């Protein structure tokens, strides 16, 4: 039998029309805008926002007011059916607005702003759920996450160059959140002129890889020249040196260099949602002051009924969380303009509290990580007699060894954590229990300035 001859298929190159390739972009441009608008009218908000990033033509088409008005009314008619009364006030006004009378993109941003306001009203009631231990909204983290809130850091150098950095890492705790920025793009420590922290509210769109639309709320604007002069050496390990720029802000600088390894902010939960979204890009949120009623009958008004909640943690884990009620100060204890509130007495052994972890502050950036010993983060919430936040602090603190008189109760090494700002001080004494391999908190005293107490309670101590 004769062997069959193998057949090798012939592959013919596909000819492409250069004329067609060159005319493809022009083909889209030659199409009537009415047809393109009709095609785009079948897209939802996420797809329409995404397609606006293709080129200038689609940017203009995807901002067409008629498209966004249709999306806007359809979206909020659904929400109206969900029995949200606020929609009854919004929709009639929307129907009377003529599309042609508005600038291009007007309805897109009206839609985004209305979505943001609707979501804020939806989650606002969760901020009314107050924890009896902290006196703060117990759903702060949940609200921030559901409102798609993040934070950005804007760095200006001395040459006038400005760059904005998105948040690298965040970690929520019971009464605070820790934010961290790191990376080789951060300028030299000595070259920074200003730092600006903004809260950013993003609209929830399904746009992978694109920066979603949103609004910025200024939370802090810091002059680095002033901060650098007053910066305190905070701690170090073999790679970085920590500097405390001001309460709540530390910078990690590579040893023997001027380069920044990371910047860390710690934010207390008190009014954090409002501060993060209710300011403007150049003005922070201003909290309305509501003073407690003046009490003429109680001569010690403002000196008793305090409640303290304090949390110690590192960048990942909680070390301690305790509450103390019915704190007071007698008039005779007011000294040097400070009102003393003792939560843990050194002489009362039953009050002493063991800590669940080491006093250490882990850090990490893109390629390296480490840990600075004898440092942690303190989050303090002091409530007044009416259980309202009176003094709130969230800041890194350092622990230093101290010499103590001979103690028959504890023979371990003693340490002091001392925090101080314009409103008061916190002093914590700890002892290292060698056999148990843990720290014991044996004294905790909070000092509040009489100036703050007098202003809050309308007194004259």
Of residues 173, 257, 254, 263, the one with CA closest to residue 222:
263
Q: SS3 of 90, please?
A: helix
Radius of gyration from C-alpha coordinates of the chain: 30
Q: Which helix (DSSP H) or strand (DSSP E) does residue 106 occupy? A: helix 106-124
Which own/partner contact pairs does 182-188 have at CB distance under 8 Å and 24+ positions apart? Answer: 182/261, 182/262, 182/263, 182/364, 182/365, 182/366, 183/365, 183/366, 184/259, 184/366, 186/155, 186/259, 186/260, 186/263, 187/155, 187/157, 187/163, 187/260, 188/258, 188/259, 188/260
Q: SS3 of 248, please?
A: coil
**Residue owning tokens 């998105």:** 166
Distance CA 46, CA 50 (A): 6
pLDDT-derived band at 236, boundaries 50, 70, 90:
very high
Other Cβ atoms closer than 10 A to 419: 18
Task: Note the pLDDT of residue 4.
Answer: 47
**Residue owning tokens 């926002």:** 49
Residue 334 has pLDDT above 80, yes or no: yes
DSSP character at residue 146: H
DSSP character at residue 349: G
The string of pLDDT tens digits covering residues 14-71 is 454 444 444 455 666 778 888 888 988 899 999 999 988 888 888 898 899 999 999 8
- Beta strands of 277-337 (E only): which ranges? 306-313, 318-327
User: What does the block give as tokens for 204?
Assistant: 């929830």
Q: SS3 of 451, please?
A: helix
Answer positive or negative: Cα dihedral of 265, 432, 311, 289.
negative
Distance CA 430, CA 417 (A): 8
The string of pLDDT tens digits covering residues 373-406 is 999 999 999 999 999 999 999 999 999 999 877 7
The string of pLDDT tens digits covering residues 255-291 is 877 789 999 999 999 999 999 999 999 999 998 877 7
User: What does the block give as tokens for 258?
Assistant: 């001027």
**Average pLDDT over all residues of the chain:** 86
Task: Note the pLDDT of residue 164.
Answer: 93
Instruction: Kindly state the percentage of the chain with pLDDT values over 70.
Output: 89
DSSP for 149-212 reads: EEEEEEEEETTS-EEEEE--EEEE-SSEEEEEEESTTSPPGGGEEEEEEEEEEEP----TTSPP
Residue 209 has pLDDT above 90, yes or no: no
Least confident of 109-118, 144-153, 379-388, 399-408: 399-408
Distance CA 145, CA 140 (A): 9
Evaluate whether 115 touches 78 at the Cβ level (below 8 Å).
no
Q: Which helix (DSSP H) or strand (DSSP E) does residue 343 occupy? A: strand 338-344
Least confident of 34-38, 88-92, 309-313, 342-346: 88-92
């Amino acid at each position: 039998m004769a062997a069959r001859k193998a057949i090798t298929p012939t592959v013919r190159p596909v000819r492409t029309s250069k004329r067609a390739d060159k005319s493809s972009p022009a083909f889209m441009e030659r199409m009537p805008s009415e047809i393109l608008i009709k095609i785009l009218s079948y897209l939802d908000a996420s797809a329409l926002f995404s397609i606006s990033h293709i080129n200038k033509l689609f940017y203009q088409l995807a901002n067409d007011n008629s498209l966004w008005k249709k999306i806007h009314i359809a979206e909020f008619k659904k929400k109206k059916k969900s029995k949200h009364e606020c929609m009854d006030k919004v929709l009639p006004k929307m129907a009377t607005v003529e599309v042609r009378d508005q600038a291009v993109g007007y309805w897109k941003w009206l839609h985004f702003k209305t979505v943001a306001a609707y979501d804020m009203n939806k989650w606002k009631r969760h901020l009314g759920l107050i924890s009896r231990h902290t006196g703060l909204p117990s759903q702060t983290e949940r609200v921030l996450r559901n409102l798609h809130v993040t934070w950005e850091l804007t760095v200006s150098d001395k040459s006038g160059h400005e760059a904005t950095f998105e948040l690298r890492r965040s970690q929520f705790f019971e009464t605070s959140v820790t934010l961290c920025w790191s990376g080789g793009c951060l300028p030299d420590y000595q070259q920074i002129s200003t730092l600006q922290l903004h809260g950013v509210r993003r609209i929830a769109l399904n746009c992978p890889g694109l920066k979603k639309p949103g609004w910025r709320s200024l939370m802090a604007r810091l002059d680095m020249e002033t901060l650098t002069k007053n910066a305190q050496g905070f701690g170090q390990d073999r790679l970085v040196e920590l500097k405390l720029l001001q309460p709540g802000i530390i910078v990690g600088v590579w040893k023997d260099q001027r380069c920044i390894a990371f910047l860390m902010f710690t934010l207390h939960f008190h009014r954090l949602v409002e501060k993060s979204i209710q300011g403007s890009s150049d003005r922070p949120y201003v909290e309305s002051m509501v003073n407690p009623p003046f009490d003429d009958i109680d001569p010690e008004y403002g000196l008793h009924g305090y409640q303290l909640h304090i949390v110690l943690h590192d960048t990942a884990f909680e070390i301690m969380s305790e509450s103390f009620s019915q704190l007071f100060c007698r008039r005779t204890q007011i000294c040097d303009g400070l009102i003393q509130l003792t939560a843990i007495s050194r002489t009362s052994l039953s009050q002493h509290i063991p800590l669940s972890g080491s006093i250490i502050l882990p850090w990490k950036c893109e390629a390296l990580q480490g840990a600075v010993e004898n440092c942690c983060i303190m989050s303090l919430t002091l409530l007044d007699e009416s259980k309202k936040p009176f003094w709130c602090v969230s800041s890194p603190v350092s622990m230093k060894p101290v010499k103590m008189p001979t103690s028959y109760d504890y023979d371990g090494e003693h340490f002091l954590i001392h925090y101080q700002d314009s409103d008061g001080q916190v002093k914590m004494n700890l002892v290292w229990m060698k056999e148990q391999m843990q720290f014991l908190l044996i004294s905790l005293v909070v000092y509040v300035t009489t100036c703050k107490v007098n202003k809050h309670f309308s007194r004259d101590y």
